[in-house]
Amino acid sequence: MSDTENTYVLNAQAIAGWRDAFGVLADVEVVQETGSTNTDLMQRLSTLQRPVLLVAERQTAGRGRAGRSWLSVPGGVLTFSLAWKLPQSGAQLMGLPLVIGLAVAETLKALAVPAGLKWPNDIWRDGKKMGGILVESAPAAGGGTWIVGGIGLNLLVPEALEASLGVQVADAPWLAQMDRNQLLGTLLNALARLLEQFAISGFAPFAARWNALHVFAGHMVQIQDQGKVLLEGQALGVDEEGYLLLNTPAGVRRVVSGDVSLRPVTE
Give catalytic residues, as residue numbers.
65, 129, 263
Angle between helices 96-110 and 180-201 (to 10 degrees): 140
Evaluate whether 134 touches 115 at the Cβ level (below 8 Å): no
The sign of the torsion formed by the CA atoms of 53, 58, 60, 65 equals positive
Torsion of CA 62, 65, 68, 71, to 10 degrees: -40
Compute the distance between CA of residue 261 and CA of residue 135 in angstroms, rounded to an integer: 15
Q: In the beta sheet, which residues pair with residue 252? A: 247
Assign 59 to helix, strand or coil. Answer: strand
Instruction: Work out the burial of residue 50: count CB atoms within 10 Å of its CB; fewer than 13 is exposed, 13-18 middle, 19 or more buried.
Output: exposed
> For 213-242, b where at least 16 C-beta lie within 10 A, e where not — what string?
bbbbbeeebbbeeeeeeebebbbbbbbeeb
> Which letter does DSSP use for residue 82 in this model?
E
Please, what's the b/e burial string for 104-117 (b: 16 or more CB within 10 A of its CB; e: otherwise)?
bbbbbeeeebebbb
Cβ-contact 263, 222 below 8 angstroms: yes
CA distance 222 to 262: 6
